Structure 1
């Protein structure tokens, strides 16, 4: 949620006025769609990565204001907590050697940020959840000093009316409470954007939902939280629980959580924006002066400011985005399922796989969403978060028999989805060298059944076997992770365990 928000309080009339403005915005969106006012295809993709700041000891550093001051670049922005940053890469046109160019830009940007962070004895860590985070790190006093985060926290806390309960049972069981949304800051992700026309939006969003579980299985990188080993990708349950405005009674009534996979395949982008208004009360009822319908009547392009702000407080794993560039509106699918890291090569490989598979599935004459129940896609997502690359999931059978079958994630990727990703990247016009390099990283992860989560867990347990305490093992794992992350070799090639100390003399 990057919109500028000024802290303040709201009264009863603010919420009613905001609700009215939201309905005007929704009507405006409907008219824009009917008038075919949206930008033509440009094959544009974008990328954002949330980052952690860590010290040489592997522990979080609450220094984002100081680091951002030294970086002094609009490409880097603050995030929820003082140990978070975000880097935004300018949009790129899909085609040619775009992934190599993207990788080079990321390496340069992250190396620069890392050098600047070192000036205050810190460093950049690109990881789903920092293993050394403690409950005392994730308190409201460590929220970034930005109005929108303070206001968002206050409104979610007020809507819930009681402490947040974190209850995640995986390899180990974590149960604790929080008085703020700050535990959400533990979740650092990669967000992949794809600009699409209204006519293609539903197919792209449905395809992204169908493969969300596979993305998580391949890219899992968040096995630890507060010193406990939980799910292979613990971000989704943590994010949902740390932003959950529902006390138990509302959960029992079937009220939807604000962090949401969804509940149906769609036929239009309008479906998602309309659901967001129908199901979720406003958290930030801040009204813009613009009258979107008057702007439309005058032949202009409305910002739909209230709709955009509200949309940013509903945390779908594939989020619809409305935006205006150079006076022309456009739509994007924002894919938010992947954790950050482990390396630039891994991030770009994940992106190449996503853009390739989504294109191929969106253009399939037998769409996967016509053959896979939505409930199965949602269950697949949960299973992939729990088990990572070892997950088994439901998927449509190939051939004429129809129906679904349970398949190993690795087999599904290697036998069916990697060929689709290759065809999709060819359709985007990606150079074969780029295509083969980054899809080869995905294939090697599958062949070795190795990703960030498996490496973290295995290295942590090796450290404990050497006699390190839990805290020391987590810190040593984090330090080694950061060392290998900076070297840049993809995670499937990382040696498991801690290096042996150099011999004396």
Structure 2
């Protein structure tokens, strides 16, 4: 979630000073871009995965501090709620056998974390939304012990001025209210970072926005929340509503939500940082020690701490990142579209598809964003979240004829996008064996029309047909998911039916502040 901050109280002078420094940061960023003071191309990528903790019964376990104490590794960190962890993989050069290397590092790291979690009767579950979560599991009391989370929750509550409301109509209808931002913690994702030069940033970000819907369609893994079956990828509507600081009146006026797809293609990384400052009031007005313009005048490279902190409170699905490493500034595109899981192999397949496709599309002489209206890309994203692998998307027709066609996502991926992704991985210098193995997994998902979300829904209904009530069926499905996740075979090979035993009953009654159709 970003840097630690102290929750010591904020007054009006703090906000005025912070706003001044935000604008100074923007001016400094503009100068850095004009003076071309950014790192050279290094083809570096990074990977973060947010994780859930559950017990052997499939129910959430609020004990990340105990698990992290036993893991004792800087690669693992807290996330918003006590049932969440995050694992960070060091940056890698996109070349050679990098995909297999990433898979092996994740197997080693998550295997170790799983052994340590079991010491306190917990399990690591890599899934977009833990299906057994109920509304009363995610309250202010369940937030992790971190000053930033406390301050962020307090500031978002104050900005909204009333309870946060979830109202999502999918397969079923969920209505839930919360006095805190804790329901956001239900959403766990994979975050893919790509370091790019300023000159390539706009093309890479535009390409990432154009394919966000396709990523969701093939990778959806979050069909349940608080006992209700919603969208195939429910994280985006949950995240937007759980962090929505707008009152209903501000929503009616068209004020932008802090969880935002965006509204236009861009020409420069500066466009996104400037929009973030122009449209969104600061939530964490905590000033750093540096004066960015003075640092620049002295020949140094400023950390732009205020802009970085502000940027971390605006939840774009493709987020711009500014950072300084070894005294040199660099820019990254952070892709936040994908849910966690189902398996390490699936995560790396999604990773390969993204990096290959974004490279190929960013280098096309007639780029897709010059032929696809931005509003269509935003509608595609919404459609893919609702229907997952069964979505039909708008996409530019090939050839000179032009125009937009409606095409099933699976056909678009198999006929047009997988060959492009393969070409992009070749351009990165990824070994053909890695390329073919991981892109082949995406192809098989599309051929069988199955991903994590479709498996979860089918397995849940299988358990219901075996006579289990709703909570027991969700718990049984979650346990089965965890078993198959740790076995490691990709999700398109998972059998839906399995013997459901009496052990599947959930221990004890649970209350949930939800309504359903």
So what's the TM-score if we normalise by structure 1? 0.99
SS at 1:350 equivalent: helix
CA drift at 1:501: 6.0
The alignment status of 1:310 with 2:310, answered yes or no, reads yes
* In 1: Cα distance, 2:375 partner to 2:8 partner: 40
Correspondence for 2:247: 247
Instruction: Give deviations 1:279-300, integer Å, cap 9, x for gaps.
Output: 0000000011211001001100
Correspondence for 1:430: 430
Instruction: Give deviations 1:267-323, integer Å, cap 9, x for gaps.
Output: 000000000000000000001121100100110000000000000000000000000
CA drift at 1:4: 1.5
* In 2: Cα distance, 1:229 partner to 1:99 partner: 33
Correspondence for 2:512: none
* In 2: Cα distance, 1:184 partner to 1:323 partner: 26
CA drift at 1:218: 0.4
Instruction: Give deviations 1:354-377, integer Å, cap 9, x for gaps.
Output: 000000000000000000000000
Correspondence for 2:105: 105
CA drift at 1:471: 0.5
Instruction: Give deviations 1:183-210, integer Å, cap 9, x for gaps.
Output: 0000000000000000000000000000
Is residue 463–residue 500 contact of structure 2 (8 Å, CA) maintained in 1?
no
* In 1: Cα distance, 2:9 partner to 2:122 partner: 36
Change (3 A) 1:456 1:327: same
* In 1: Cα distance, 2:296 partner to 2:84 partner: 39
Superposition misfits of 4+ residues, deviation over 3 angstroms: 499-502
Instruction: Give deviations 1:419-463, integer Å, cap 9, x for gaps.
Output: 000000000000000000000000000000000000000000010
SS at 2:53 equivalent: strand
Correspondence for 2:373: 373
Instruction: Give deviations 1:231-288, integer Å, cap 9, x for gaps.
Output: 0000000000000000100011110000000000000000000000000000000011
So what's the TM-score if we normalise by structure 2? 0.97
SS at 1:337 equivalent: coil
The alignment status of 1:95 with 2:95, answered yes or no, reads yes
In the comparison of the two structures, how many residue pairs are matched? 502
CA drift at 1:484: 0.1
SS at 1:22 equivalent: helix
Correspondence for 1:114: 114
Is residue 353–residue 439 contact of structure 1 (8 Å, CA) maintained in 2?
yes
* In 2: Cα distance, 1:186 partner to 1:409 partner: 27
Indicate the RMSD between aligned Cα atoms, in angstroms.
0.8
Instruction: Give deviations 1:34-80, integer Å, cap 9, x for gaps.
Output: 00000000000000000000000000000100000000000000000
* In 2: Cα distance, 1:357 partner to 1:62 partner: 38
Instruction: Give deviations 1:165-191, integer Å, cap 9, x for gaps.
Output: 100000000011111000000000000
* In 2: Cα distance, 1:457 partner to 1:39 partner: 45
* In 2: Cα distance, 1:379 partner to 1:69 partner: 43
The alignment status of 1:147 with 2:147, answered yes or no, reads yes
Is residue 349–residue 442 contact of structure 1 (8 Å, CA) maintained in 2?
yes
* In 1: Cα distance, 2:299 partner to 2:176 partner: 53
Correspondence for 2:299: 299
* In 1: Cα distance, 2:2 partner to 2:288 partner: 16
Is residue 460–residue 497 contact of structure 1 (8 Å, CA) maintained in 2?
no
Correspondence for 1:3: 3
* In 2: Cα distance, 1:332 partner to 1:230 partner: 32
Name stretches of at least 5 consecutive residues in structure 2 with no aligned partner. Answer: 503-517
Correspondence for 2:285: 285
Is residue 223–residue 457 contact of structure 1 (8 Å, CA) maintained in 2?
yes
Correspondence for 1:133: 133
Name stretches of at least 5 consecutive residues in structure 1 with no aligned partner. Answer: none
SS at 2:82 equivalent: coil
SS at 2:336 equivalent: strand
CA drift at 1:499: 3.2
CA drift at 1:497: 2.4
* In 1: Cα distance, 2:26 partner to 2:77 partner: 30
SS at 1:90 equivalent: strand
Correspondence for 2:158: 158
Correspondence for 1:387: 387
Correspondence for 1:499: 499
The alignment status of 1:321 with 2:348, answered yes or no, reads no
SS at 1:194 equivalent: strand
* In 2: Cα distance, 1:344 partner to 1:499 partner: 25
Is residue 245–residue 258 contact of structure 2 (8 Å, CA) maintained in 1?
yes
Listed as ranges, the matches of 1:50-61 within 5 Å are: 50-61=50-61
Correspondence for 2:265: 265
Is residue 476–residue 498 contact of structure 1 (8 Å, CA) maintained in 2?
no
* In 2: Cα distance, 1:497 partner to 1:115 partner: 28
* In 2: Cα distance, 1:480 partner to 1:452 partner: 12
Is residue 477–residue 498 contact of structure 1 (8 Å, CA) maintained in 2?
no
* In 1: Cα distance, 2:56 partner to 2:251 partner: 42
SS at 1:46 equivalent: strand
SS at 2:66 equivalent: helix
Instruction: Give deviations 1:134-164, integer Å, cap 9, x for gaps.
Output: 1110100000011000100000000000001
Is residue 28–residue 296 contact of structure 1 (8 Å, CA) maintained in 2?
yes
SS at 1:208 equivalent: helix
Is residue 117–residue 124 contact of structure 1 (8 Å, CA) maintained in 2?
yes
Correspondence for 2:18: 18
CA drift at 1:498: 2.6
